[in-house]
Structures are given as C-alpha cells and as structure tokens.
Structure 1
C-alpha cells in the first residue's frame, strides 16, 4: 500500500510553545520538549515539566522511531479531501515509551496494522492559517519501518 498525500489537511496554528514541534520537520527533525531538570521528554509541549515542575525545558530532536500503542481506523468521511479509510494512532517514542503522539500511520492497510508495530516518522509540508498570517508547518506522520 503506497501513501498518497490528501488534498486537504486541517493544519495546526503553532503557539510559541509548539512552534518547534510543528516546524522541526523542515530539517527532518522530530522535536520533542525535554526537561533539563529531570531529563524526561514530554508531549504536548508546554512551559513546565509535568513530572518535576521545572521550567528549564526545551525542544530536542529524537530518533523518530516509535511503536504503535493504540489505533483506530476511521471509515467516516469527516474532512473533504481526506478520504477514508485512514489510521489514527497513538505512537510511543523509542526514547521514552510514556511520551506519546497522536498521528496518522500510512503505507499500511487498515487490516495489517497492529499494536507494537515499529514505525518511523516522516513529514508533510503544509501551509497553516494563524489568524491573518500564513505559516508553514511540517506534520509528523508515521509509516512502518521497512525490514533491513
């Protein structure tokens, strides 16, 4: 199954805290906020670590390797141009399994995805609407890791 980019996506409007996450893909980097107080990653990005409450946090690149923790197959046509079926998944990052992202998993048939499947990040470049100004975002999507 080969992924085909949809005609339309609802792109985010990055905030000061999430800007690095949504634009890291420009350089092929998945940037996840890390606490310099306790060393843990966390997502979504925020001004303070939810574990230790430190405000010494900043985005850092991670490998982009993950496993599928949970998923659902959407079969309803909710967004014109984003044709079903498509997979919405929660993936656990290799660096820290309790750091999870919601995204789409592509290049896999809906009946072939499974919990624990190894996936890797790639990015789609989109233009987002932020009030009156336009900005580019790089949406992190995941696909199965190809066997080597």
Structure 2
C-alpha cells in the first residue's frame, strides 16, 4: 500500500496482476468478484487460481454489493498517522451475499450503532484518479 497523488494521504492498494480487473471495475463504480469457470466458486481477495478447485480458469462476476456486518472494531489509536484526523474510525468485516468476506469501512453511521448482522450496501470512494475504494453504508 502506498499513498497516492491527487492529495490523498492515506495508504492505497498496490494493483497487481491478480486484482487489476477488480480495481478497474471499481474505478467504474462496479463491484466484481473472481469466479471459477470450472466449478463456479466465487471468492475474495482475487487470487489467480480458485481456492476451491485450484483451476486457473477465472472469470469475473458482477457482485450485488449487498451483505451484512460479520464483525467490526473501532480504531482509537493512530497506528497509521494519516488516519489520525478520523479517530475513532471503524473497520468492518462484511459477509457479501455471494459468500466472500471483505474488510472495509462503514460510512453514514455512528460507530456506536454498528452491530453484527447489520445489512449494508457497497458505495464507492474515488480516492485518486487511479484508485476507487469500496466502502459500505447501512441499508
């Protein structure tokens, strides 16, 4: 992860060969997940091969963007200096309708109102011209 241009100071993902299509779709405000063309398994994060059957025949499927909060924590210490102005902030683990789990942040909600089982939907944050982050908000 590295800070980006465009004045964005927080860490950003480093795009790799395995996840390039994921980040390209996010820039278009689309949420896609890798899907095995051999067995149909859907997973995240994007690896080159299917974690279920090990096939390298990977495609991409449009995700619903819906899920539920499976777990969360509230960050109160400035472990990463660029996040200090946002303290306290949340980190959530969202179980997507398609099955995979994704770490992100929950927006448009007080941290005290976050609970496991809360239904959420994906939203897109254009961090830089190259990177769009996927976050979630309550439904």
Name the TM-score, length of structure 2 as normaliser.
0.86
* Matched positions, count: 130
Equivalent-residue separation in structure 1 for 2:107 and 2:82 (angstroms): 16
CA contact (8 A) 2:27 2:130 kept: no
**Shift >3 Å, 4+ stretches:** none
Gaps in structure 1 of 5+ consecutive residues: 1-6, 128-134
- Segment drifting more, 18-27 vs 43-52: 18-27
Gaps in structure 2 of 5+ consecutive residues: 1-7
Task: Considering fraction of residues, name the structure with more strand.
Answer: 1
Task: Considering fraction of residues, name the structure with more helix.
Answer: 2
| Aligned twin of 2:5 | none
Name the TM-score, length of structure 1 as normaliser.
0.81
Aligned-CA RMSD value? 1.5
Larger RCO of the pair (alpha carbons < 8 Å, separation 6+): 1
| Aligned twin of 2:58 | 57
CA deviations over 1:3-50 (Å, ceiling 9, x no partner)? xxxx63211110011112222122221111111111111111111101
